Amino acid sequence: MADVVLKGLNKRFGDTQALADLDLSIRDGEFVVLLGPTGAGKTTTLRLIAGLERPDSGRIEIGSRNVTSEAPADRDVAFVFQQYSLYPHMTVYDNLAFPLRAPVRKLSSEEIDRRVREIARMVRIDHKLENRSTRLSGGEMQRVAIGRALVRRPAIYLMDEPLSSLDAKLRAELRLELKRIQKELGSTLLYVTHDQVEAMTMADRIGIVAGGRLLQVGTPREIYGNPASLHVAARLGQPHINLLPADLLPGANPPPGTKTIGARTEHLDIIVDANANSKVDWIEHLGDQNHLHIQVHDHKLVTLADPHLTIRPGDRISLTLRDPLYFDASGQRLG
Amino acid sequence: MADIRIENLRKQFGSFVAVQDSTFHVQDGEFLALLGPSGCGKTTTLRMIAGLELPTSGKIHLANEDVTFNRASARDIAFVFQLFALYPHMNVRKNIGFPLLSQGMPKREIRQRVEETARLLQIDHILDRSVSGLAGGDRQRVALGRAIVRRPKCFLMDEPLGTLDAEFREVMVHELRELHNRIHATTVYVTHDQHEAMAMADKIAVMNHGVIEQFGTPQEIYSKPASMYVADFIGSPPMNFMRFTSGLRTGARSISLQGVDVSVPEVHQDLAEAELALGIRPEHIRFSDASPLRGAVYGSEYLGTNQVVAIETSSGVIKARVPANRNFRIGETVGLEFNPAKLALFECKSGRAIASALYSEA
């Protein structure tokens, strides 16, 4: 395992600037998630680190070694793709053992066997080691694909939306497992996704990417609680952050230049009150979380309903801001 | 608009029973979600209502008319598949008006109806644009417009949002529901996504192996699950189960879990000793140092306003949804307390819920 440092990376495909001046350091043993929409430059970053693409300019260091011009095979990275790519004619065991059997590794068969069984247990596929890989469910295949990356001990694991092809339940299960395995192995991992829940729940630090640029890097709590811009604030949180004109609600203390106020559930105080400034439109019962849809003049807000407060559609409520986020006309955070 | 009445509907493909014996009623203006995993019979049910499949037995009434053996075209319904299918060479106006044109409606009336529909969907400003240049959201609105312009008796939708990525899907879920609030069209919506069903539907039918396991409002399905299958399918994370072996008597108000007495809603049936499960929703768990029910933190997932903490107990890993303002260490021992009024009990072998005060309260 090792530190990975990216300095001033630029990459262009034709007219598209896929990456612009990207700087990022990933510490040894750290789980970093790049979060952004399709086309933001996430996958390009992974491919540059792996050596599948060459940067137009900039520098890539793995374990303090400049690898920018090295071939992929010399970089000591393991890549997990979105679609599981297993050898269909091999058993689960042989799929997992394959990366270890490469002649350059010179591992004894006892050592290979030990590692395969250890990883199979971690990704919970040890009961199917003798199955052909084609006789597995989608979730099992993806666990084998992740396991096959994990049997090696590369400088860094690169994962490109490895859970996106799985159903919701399995995805939730594997999120927790992947995070545990990464901590257990102490591995360095760079993971890209467009799913904010994956980023929030697994990352030690999240990097928010858009249009080839890295907008902010920080722990999930920092990014959620202390976003640098409107764009970043809107990437995290369910329901979405409410964006309001500065003078819509009382309780704010906007610094000069404030154009927009960002208010999440924790920035809104609600009191049921007949002479109030707002009205409850409807309540979206999602079971564990109920969303309150509120109308304030011409604006609509969505907030999580407090389970201890009885509110019905049509109720008048008074809505007050408590330490919300302030943004200027360009969307930068103020104060 | 119209109601849909389904009676003892059954569909067999060879020896495979896709739908066993469904009976339910969608009221006029209601939004019903048919929810379940692939192969549960939800799409087959929808296709029978549409007239794309004929039932093996049973009846389908649409607005008090028996349409069981009517042809699809004679049923006055609109079927919405994946929303993206538009005619690329036509502009927005022509795309929306096409179903009326093929009905032979006069041009002036078409124009009026198309404009009305476009206003409803807030796309009246792009009526004369080509559809090929439109952004994803507007394309979906146009496709929806084409479905609603005919004003059919009801809408049938088969996973219309299936291919969208997460953030955009959220937006469309709200738009679809708001559209429904405006036009109140009777709607049957097929999905495997419990979140979509909970967010949009007035009623949900949870299906499993061709059988409707439970039919009710989203709140009923969520807080009073009829079976372990329903309890597990709904909720993210789903309901936790802690297994124990015991008999039960009518009037019992507590059970013994790992030797600890746990208060439960009053039991309303007698049961011989069997393997049972206590069902606990993640948001009904609190941490309390004083509680004798112990577990060790297995992992935690920060979600902003709150977090989901996984705890390893001697009855397996359970997940709690708690405020985000406390940090947990992996391995840390915690005491667990449950909201006694919200707990469910199940018989593990049949998976059925045990009758209790939870199910009898309004």
ipTM of the complex: 0.77
From B200's Cα to the closest Cα of chain A, the distance in A is: 8
Q: Taking an 8 Å Cβ-Cβ cutoff, which residues of chain A contact chain B?
A: 37-38, 167-169, 172, 175-176, 179-180, 183, 194-197, 200-201, 220-221, 224, 236-238, 240, 264-266, 282, 284-289, 304, 307
Mean per-residue pLDDT for A286-290?
Answer: 81
Of B219, B236, B324, which has the smallest distance from its Cβ to A285's Cβ? B219
- For residue A167, pLDDT over 80 is answered with no
On chain B, the residues whose CB falls within 8 A of the CB of A192 are none
> Are A162 and A254 contained in the same domain?
no
- Alpha-carbon separation of residue B340 from A308, A316, B263 (angstroms): 15, 31, 5
The one-letter amino acid at B256: S
What whole-number distance in Å separates Cα of residue A96 and Cα of residue A87?
10
How sure is the predictor about A2, in pLDDT bands with cuts at 50, 70 and 90?
A: confident
Interface with B, mutate which of A193, A267, A288, A301 (most B CBs under 10 A) = A288
Percent of chain B residues past pLDDT 90, beyond the cut = 68
> Are A176 and A38 contained in the same domain?
yes
What whole-number distance in Å separates Cα of residue B259 and Cα of residue B275?
15
Domain boundary among A235, A253, A271: A235
CATH 3.40.50.720 fits B229-360, yes or no: no
Structure tokens at A26: 């990933």
Interface of B with A in 313-332 (CB under 8 A): 321, 324, 330
From B301's Cα to the closest Cα of chain A, the distance in A is: 4
For chain A, what is the mean pLDDT? 91
Q: Delimit the CATH 3.40.50.300 region(s) of chain B.
A: 4-228
* Residue A24 near residue A217 (C-beta atoms within 8 A): yes
From A102's Cα to the closest Cα of chain B, the distance in A is: 35
> Are A47 and A187 contained in the same domain?
yes
End-to-end CA, chain A: 39
pLDDT tens-place string over residues B88-138: 889 999 999 998 998 899 999 999 999 999 988 888 999 999 988 787 778
C-alpha torsion sign, points A51, A54, A55, A57: positive
> Are A168 and A267 contained in the same domain?
no
- For residue A103, pLDDT over 90 is answered with no
pLDDT tens-place string over residues A50-75: 999 999 999 999 998 999 999 998 99
On chain A, the residues whose CB falls within 8 A of the CB of B299 are 176, 179-180
- For residue B82, pLDDT over 70 is answered with no
Percent of chain A residues past pLDDT 90, beyond the cut = 64
What whole-number distance in Å separates Cα of residue A233 and Cα of residue B172?
21
How sure is the predictor about A232, in pLDDT bands with cuts at 50, 70 and 90?
A: very high
- For residue A138, pLDDT over 80 is answered with no
Q: Delimit the CATH 2.40.50.140 region(s) of chain B.
A: 229-360
From B240's Cα to the closest Cα of chain A, the distance in A is: 13
Tell me what pLDDT residue B171 has: 78
Are the Cβ atoms of B167 and A194 closer than 8 angstroms? Answer: yes
Instruction: Give the residue from chain A lying closest to B178, CA to CA.
Output: A282
Tell me what pLDDT residue B47 has: 94
Q: How many contacts does A have with B, using Cβ atoms within 8 A?
A: 79
Tell me what pLDDT residue A5 has: 96
Nearest to B314 by CA among B259, B255, B265, B254: B259
Instruction: Give the residue from chain B lying closest to A180, CA to CA.
Output: B299
pLDDT tens-place string over residues A145-163: 888 988 988 899 999 998 8
Mean per-residue pLDDT for B272-280?
Answer: 96
Integer-rounded Cα radius of gyration of chain B: 24
pLDDT tens-place string over residues B144-164: 888 889 888 899 998 888 766
pLDDT tens-place string over residues B331-347: 999 999 999 999 999 99
CATH of residue A329: 2.40.50.140
DSSP code for B342: G
Burial call B207-224: b when 16+ CB within 10 Å, e when fewer? bbebbbbbbbebeebbbb
Total domains present in chain A: 2
Of B165, B234, B304, which has the smallest distance from its Cβ to A287's Cβ? B234
Residue B145 forms contact with A (CB below 8 Å)? no
Residue B279 forms contact with A (CB below 8 Å)? no
> Are A176 and A276 contained in the same domain?
no
Are the Cβ atoms of A266 and B330 closer than 8 angstroms? Answer: no
On chain B, the residues whose CB falls within 8 A of the CB of A40 are none
Burial call A92-113: b when 16+ CB within 10 Å, e when fewer? bbbbbbbbbeeeeeeeeeeebe
3-state secondary structure of B352: strand
CATH of residue A46: 3.40.50.300
pLDDT tens-place string over residues A267-280: 999 988 877 899 99
pLDDT tens-place string over residues A25-51: 999 999 999 999 878 899 999 999 999
- Alpha-carbon separation of residue B213 from B21, B85, B216, B229, B353 (angstroms): 11, 33, 10, 8, 11
> Are A71 and A200 contained in the same domain?
yes
How sure is the predictor about A91, in pLDDT bands with cuts at 50, 70 and 90?
A: very high
> Are A91 and A224 contained in the same domain?
yes
Instruction: Give the residue from chain B lying closest to A233, CA to CA.
Output: B304
> Are A196 and A261 contained in the same domain?
no
Q: Quickly tell me which residue has 């090696």 as its tokens.
A: A152
> Are A281 and A223 contained in the same domain?
no
Q: In terms of C-beta distances under 8 Å and separation of at least 24 residues, what long-range contacts does A242-247 make, across chains too?
A: A242/A268, A242/A301, A242/A302, A242/A303, A244/A296, A244/A299, A244/A301, A245/A299, A246/A326
Structure tokens at B287: 């941490």
Tell me what pLDDT residue A210 has: 94
Structure tokens at A67: 């690898």
Residue B167 forms contact with A (CB below 8 Å)? yes
Domain boundary among A181, A208, A235: A235
Looking at A101-110, A198-207, B219-228, which range is the least confident one? A101-110
Of B218, B299, B304, which has the smallest distance from its Cβ to A236's Cβ? B304
> Are A201 and A274 contained in the same domain?
no
Mean per-residue pLDDT for A77-81?
Answer: 89
Tell me what pLDDT residue B353 has: 97
Integer-rounded Cα radius of gyration of chain A: 24
How sure is the predictor about B83, in pLDDT bands with cuts at 50, 70 and 90?
A: low
* Residue B206 near residue B36 (C-beta atoms within 8 A): yes
Residue B302 forms contact with A (CB below 8 Å)? yes
What is B4-228's CATH number? 3.40.50.300
On chain A, the residues whose CB falls within 8 A of the CB of B195 are 168, 286
> Are A290 and A145 contained in the same domain?
no
pLDDT tens-place string over residues B167-209: 677 778 888 888 898 888 999 999 998 989 999 999 999 999 9
What whole-number distance in Å separates Cα of residue A36 and Cα of residue A209?
5
What burial class does residue A10 get, using C-beta atoms within 10 Å of its C-beta: 0-12 exposed, 13-18 middle, 19+ buried? Answer: middle
How sure is the predictor about B46, in pLDDT bands with cuts at 50, 70 and 90?
A: very high
Are the Cβ atoms of A286 and B167 closer than 8 angstroms? Answer: no
Residue B284 forms contact with A (CB below 8 Å)? no
Of A37, A201, A282, which has the smallest distance from its Cβ to B303's Cβ? A201
Parent domain of A175? 4-235
What whole-number distance in Å separates Cα of residue A320 and Cα of residue A327?
18
Domain boundary among A235, A250, A266: A235
- For residue B247, pLDDT over 90 is answered with yes
> Are A27 and A81 contained in the same domain?
yes
Tell me what pLDDT residue B181 has: 86
What whole-number distance in Å separates Cα of residue B314 and Cα of residue B295?
8
DSSP string, B197-232: HHHH-SEEEEEETTEEEEEE-HHHHHHS-SBHHHHH
* Residue B140 near residue B179 (C-beta atoms within 8 A): no
Residue B225 forms contact with A (CB below 8 Å)? no
